[in-house]
Structures are given as structure tokens and as C-alpha cells.
Amino acid sequence: MPKRDLILLALEDTTVSLLMQRALHAASYEVAVAQEPSAIEKIIQEAVPALLLISENFGGQSGIRWAMEMLERFPTMPVILYAGVDSLSLCKQVLQAGLSGYLCPPLRNDDIVQAVERSLTHARRVGDWLRREVKKTTASLEKRAELSEAERKRFENIFSNIQDGVIILDDQGCIQFVNRVVSSVFGLNGDCRGRPVIEVIDHPDIYTLIKRAKLVPLKYHEISFDDGRIYNAQYTPIEGVGAVITMQDISYLKQLDRMKNEFVHTVSHDLRSPLTSVLGYTELIERVGPLNEQQIEFVNRIRSSVESITSLVNDLLDMSRLEAGFDARREVVHPENILKFALDTVEGQLQLNGLSLVTDIQSDLPSLRGNPIRLRQLFDNLLGNAIKYSPLGGTISVSLRAEGQQIIFKVSDQGPGIPPAEQARIFEKFYRASNAPAGVSGSGLGLAIVKSIVDAYQGRIWVESVPGKGSTFFVVLPTG
Ligand code: ADP
């Protein structure tokens, strides 16, 4: 007869233990005997028994307590309690604790085997029921998956008829679906389902979008075509699916933007020459004759106003040049040298405002391919803001370090900070935060220029700031 289930005996009375072993062996059960508590764990680690038979007390602890601990770990394991003396209250405790049986003298072999068999049969039934339920639930889930196939068709129908381009990718970057707009924009023919998107759509901007999406949280990129069309593509990762790329045609908006930039560029350019002559004449006035105190005061005011308009016009011109993509110059630049020059230039301003400067500049930074003038402008604007918005005697910390394929520039100050709701908006043109100190002048273009420079390098910029405590601006530029 083949050996049957393993029964674990944990009984304090050795005579009773021997009796039970004999009865169970005779009924072909395998028996493991634990003489002390630590043996229980050892036996369980080798093979989980089908049933535990434990005495009212074992190893100085109540058998019911042992049984409950065991049920915590193996909820479907039947446990039988053996009591030396039959007692109604113990019987009640056995039921309350959820044990499956109760044995007490006189102990006949048949009683022992029958109690074990009853408990095992019940446990088997519970096990079978559980398996059936799991199967039923799995089947209903599979059915729902079939339903989602119908839903998929409905969604495909909707996506096919919308004006935006839609590409659905699986988590391997393979195409699951492209709508009509995408097929016509990229001239796709035939079924491309299951093929890697970068193989099917051979466009450098799509490649860049997907590559960037793995590095940066903001995942959009412009897709330009030779015929002048421009799409704004957005990459959205979707858990359990992969990702979706959506594309909107922004050619018309781009054209309007170009017209506006041309207008701003022309006006700013034309404003520069008269401003230069006004500035020149304010200097000449002082030379042609002695001025009284009031006249000197007025000339100074004219000069300071003209200087601030000139700086605004210069910012506008820079902005329009950057937006028009006239910043194509690329050469090998060493960012640490550019930053050191920028820091040398602001030394006077730091002293004037009693500011301390803490620097952490890595010496062996990798070089970048870029425009040194724009990089200098990036450092100047961020340092300039840190100085401008710092309280007298504050500390400014600057760090420039490499991490992987990126260079990270960080500048912190102890200024007024920026309200959380406005932190994303300060990079917009002309936006000034609501808590910008009244005495601090500015055009609201400095950060927009920095953002355009960072974007041109496929980098990232963001701010972490606590109002009343200070701000830290981060710039990440890829070196690869
Ligand atoms: P602005 O010429 O006004 O300084 P920016 O574009 O450089 O223009 O900055 C936009 C706005 O962001 C500022 O007006 C200011 O409200 C906020 N800001 C920029 N830098 C800081 C800073 N270091 N601390 C506090 N606020 C700042």
C-alpha cells in the first residue's frame, strides 16, 4: 500500500505519542514526531505536513496557541487537539480557535485514524473548492479579456476618426496600433502591428522623442517635415499597455509664431539705434556745460530708463533669435571655464550685496558641443537672478558636476522663493512671480531665454523652491 499523507505529532506524553504513531503507521500514514517545539519548525521546513496532531500543552505552551500559530501560516492545514481529560470548556475553545478535531481517552486505534481521516477529507474538500473558485475567477478574467477585444475595436474606430495622430506601443516599443492620421503623415502602407516603431517610422524626431522619453519627465517633441508641416508629439507611458504617442498639427500656430517673432525682431532692431543715440546724448549733455544738481538727477534718470529699455530690447532680440533657431553655432566648449568666467564677472555685485558664494565645480568635466555665448548667457541669467533676489548678506551656492552622460548645474539662493503654483510659469515669457519684490526690476524674459537655450540642447530645467526660504534652479544638459 503506498504511503499516505504526512502527519505531524507534537505530543508531550510519550506513551500517547507511541500509541498514535502505531495506529497511524498501521493505516499507512507517514508520521513525523516533534519532541520539542524547535523540532516542529525543522520538520515543516523539510515537508509541510498534511495534518498536525498536538497535545493540550506542548513545550510549556498551550496546544491551542500552537495550533492558532500554525493556522496563521497554513490556513488550510487541519489541526487536531489531544486532551488528557475530556472537558467541555476545552472542546469549546477548540471550536472557537477553528481547529478541525478533538481527541481524548480512551484512545482506540480506530478513533485515532477516523479523526485524522475526517479532518483530512474536510481539508481536501476545502482545497478542491478553493481550486475550483480560482479556476472560475481566472476563466471570468479571460472572458473579460475577450470582451476587451471588442472594446479595442471600438477604441480603434474612435482613434481612426480623430484629427490627432495616435500611435499605441507595447512595453517593448512595438506598434500595437496607428491611426489614419499617422499612416498618412508618415506614408505607412500595410500592417505594421508588432514591429518596432523606430523601424517602421524612420524619422529622426520620433527617434529623439522616444529616446528622450526614457530620460526626462516632460515627454514632448516637435516633429518637422521637409514640406514645412510641424507636429507637436507627446509620449505618455501607460501602465499595463506600454505607451501612447499623440501628435497635433501645429503648423499654423508655428507660422503665426514666426510672424510674431519677425515683428518683434524688426521692432526691437529698429528701436536699438535710437536708444543708442539717446544714451550717447545723455553723455554729451554732461560734457557741453556744467549741469545743476537737478539736471544731473534728470539725466541719470533718463540714462537708467534707457538702459533698462536697451536691456529689454536685447532680451527680446535674443529671444527671437533663439526661437527662430538662429543659434545653430556648435563648437567644443568646456562648461567649467565658462562658469568660472561668469562667476568672476559677478564678484563685484556679490561684494556690493555682502553675499557669500559657495562653489562646487568638478574639474574634469566632459566637454559639450554648443555655443559658448549662449552657455554664458545661461549661467549669467541664473546667477544674475540668484544675486538679484538674494537678501543682503545671503549665501549663494553654485555646483557644476557630471553624472553619467549629463552635466548638472545647480544654483541655490536664500531669496523670497517662488510660490509652488507659479514655479512652472516663471519660464514663460514676461512672467514674473506674484511675490517678486517690488524694488527688483526685470523684464520676465531671463528665464524664458535660459529655457530656450536648454531646450536647444535637449536639456532640462526646473526649480525647487520654498517661499520665504530660497530657490534652487537645476539645469541638466546631455553631453552625448
Ligand atoms: P526677471 O527679469 O523678472 O527676473 P526672469 O525670467 O529671470 O525675469 O524670472 C522670472 C520670474 O521668476 C521673476 O520675475 C521672479 O518672480 C522669479 N524668479 C526668478 N529667479 C528667482 C530667484 N532666484 N528667486 C526668486 N524668484 C525668482
Ligand 1, atom 2: nearest CA belongs to which residue?
442
How do residues 157-200 score in pLDDT, each as one tens digit? Answer: 888 888 889 999 998 999 988 998 899 889 888 888 899 998 99
Query: How many A from CA of 443 to the centre of ligand 1?
Result: 9
Which ligand 1 atom lies nearest to the CA of residue 470?
Answer: 24
Residue 147, pLDDT above cutoff 80 = no
Which ligand 1 atom lies nearest to the CA of residue 473?
Answer: 23
Q: Once rounded to an integer, what is the mean pLDDT over residues 442-453?
A: 92
Please give the C-alpha separations between residue 211 and each of 199, 206, 226, 234, 410, in angstroms, as whole numbers: 14, 9, 22, 13, 24
Kindly report the backbone phi and psi dihedral angles of residue 354, in degrees, each rounded to the nearest multiple of 5, phi listed first. Answer: 60, 35
Query: How many A from CA of 386 to the centre of ligand 1?
Result: 9
Residue 390, pLDDT above cutoff 70 = yes
CA distance 274 to 293: 26
Residue 216, pLDDT above cutoff 70 = no
pLDDT confidence of residue 370: 87
Ligand 1, atom 12: nearest CA belongs to which residue?
426
Residue 194: burial class (beta carbons within 10 Å; 0-12, 13-18, 19+): exposed
Closest by alpha carbon to 25, among 4, 49, 52?
4
Ligand 1, atom 16: nearest CA belongs to which residue?
433
Residue 169's DSSP bridge partners are 175, 243
Kindly report the backbone phi and psi dihedral angles of residue 159, in degrees, each rounded to the nearest multiple of 5, phi listed first. Answer: -60, -35
Task: State which of 315, 412, 426, 429 you would mutate to test the pocket of ligand 1, scoring each by most atoms of that ligand within 8 A of its C-beta.
Answer: 426
Query: How many A from CA of 126 to the centre of ligand 1?
Result: 69
Residue 58's DSSP bridge partners are 61
CA distance 137 to 127: 15
Query: How many A from CA of 434 to the centre of ligand 1?
Result: 10
Query: How many A from CA of 426 to the centre of ligand 1?
Result: 7
pTM over 0.85: no
DSSP string, 106-159: S--HHHHHHHHHHHHHHHHHHHHHHHHHHHHHHHHHHHHHHHHHHHHHHHHHHH
Query: How many A from CA of 433 to the centre of ligand 1?
Result: 7
Q: Once rounded to an integer, what is the mean pLDDT over residues 93-119?
A: 90
The gap from C-alpha 80 to its chain's centroid, in whole angstroms, comes to 52
Between 85 and 473, name the one with better pLDDT: 473
DSSP string, 274-302: HHHHHHHHHHHHHHHS---HHHHHHHHHH
CA distance 229 to 203: 14
Residue 364, pLDDT above cutoff 70 = yes
pLDDT band for position 9 (cuts 50, 70, 90): very high
Residue 218, pLDDT above cutoff 70 = no
Residue 273: burial class (beta carbons within 10 Å; 0-12, 13-18, 19+): exposed
pLDDT confidence of residue 389: 96
Ligand 1, pocket residues at CB < 6 Å: 385-386, 389, 413, 415-418, 426, 431-433, 436, 442-448, 471
Query: How many A from CA of 45 to the centre of ligand 1?
Result: 65
Residue 407's DSSP bridge partners are 402, 477
Share of the chain above pLDDT 70, in %: 96
How do residues 420-445 score in pLDDT, each as one tens digit? Answer: 999 989 999 989 999 999 888 888 99
How do residues 452-472 score in pLDDT, each as one tens digit? Answer: 999 888 899 999 999 999 999
pLDDT band for position 142 (cuts 50, 70, 90): low
Residue 324, pLDDT above cutoff 80 = no
Which ligand 1 atom lies nearest to the CA of residue 413?
Answer: 23
Task: State which of 319, 379, 418, 425 you would mutate to test the pocket of ligand 1, scoring each by most atoms of that ligand within 8 A of its C-beta.
Answer: 418
The dihedral region occupied by 104, where left means phi > 0, alpha psi between -120 and 50, and beta the remainder, is beta
CA distance 274 to 254: 31
Average pLDDT, the chain: 88
Ligand 1, atom 4: nearest CA belongs to which residue?
442
Query: How many A from CA of 410 to the centre of ligand 1?
Result: 16
